Amino acid sequence: MKIDKIGIVANTEKESIADHVLSLKQWLEEKGVQVFLEVDIARKISSHDGLAWNELARRSQMVVVLGGDGTMLRTAHYLAGHRVPILGINLGSFGYLTEVNLNEVQSTLELIIRGKFVTEKRMMLDVGIRRGKNTRHVGSVLNDAVINRGDLSRMNELEVEINGNYLTTYKGDGLIVSTPTGSTAYSLSAGGPIVFPGKDLIIVNPICPHTLTNRPIIFSEDSSLAITLWSKDKGAMLTLDGQEAYKIKSGDVVLVNRSKHVTMLVLSPFRSYRDILRSKLGWGDLPPGARKRKNA
């Protein structure tokens, strides 16, 4: 499918972002592509044609995101349910979701406009909070839902049930529930495993557990998690993809399930996920001789 309607989202705090967006917009329009701007970046470049998220998703065949992983996560949140493919352009120094570098934008979009691109479905999680008899959905995440300590530096007690069956009670700083996409985010920093994003799995990873035998666990995608906070202090914070935060108190239950929504990411035509891992994590490449033997 050829692409001739593209939406643009950008991190308005990035240096020279207005110049990048204007240059990209002009280049796309010269190629015969109709361009739509998200309202915040439209204001940044003094345009009055900005669109709200729903309208941007409705009109666009693809959305290009200029920024870092945080901007990609924000975009995934607002576009959940629309299944519009998202292409990430990396303007930062580190990012797993923004696969295309700034100097590759035109060559990448040349292929995309002609319909030569590949998308990958990324699993999302639905998160809710149950307080007494009331349950409310608070959001869908692409990376993770994190329960952290509140204002006081004391341990949280987090009782975890899987599919209605008691698993264990974690004592420590908190708990990370992540998707494979989120396995290279906060979960990785907390000692969690790297899971290739083609797999639909749920990772539960304790943060600084008091009991050292509490280790990360991987569950199937159809698992239903209920995490009850038991705390005598001022409660804890539930954070969704690092974008939204909710105060929870003792007795509240955080519910996490696989979402019906997915995020459609446009893959880089120049590098694989393995290449991205090697680059971002500083892993050494194969020496020339080993590469020849491997390909023989």
The tally of CA atoms less than 13 A away on the side-chain side of residue 68 is 9
**Ramachandran angles phi, psi of 237, nearest 5°:** -115, 135
CA distance 73 to 70: 5
Tell me, yes or no, if 69 is annotated catalytic: yes
Contact 181, 167 (CB under 8 A): no
CA distance 85 to 63: 6
CA distance 241 to 256: 13
Catalytic position from the list 4, 40, 49, 69: 69
Beta bridge partners of 253: 130, 228
- Give whole-number Cα distances, 121 to 76, 93, 134, 181, 197, in Å: 12, 25, 32, 10, 9
Residues taking part in catalysis: 69
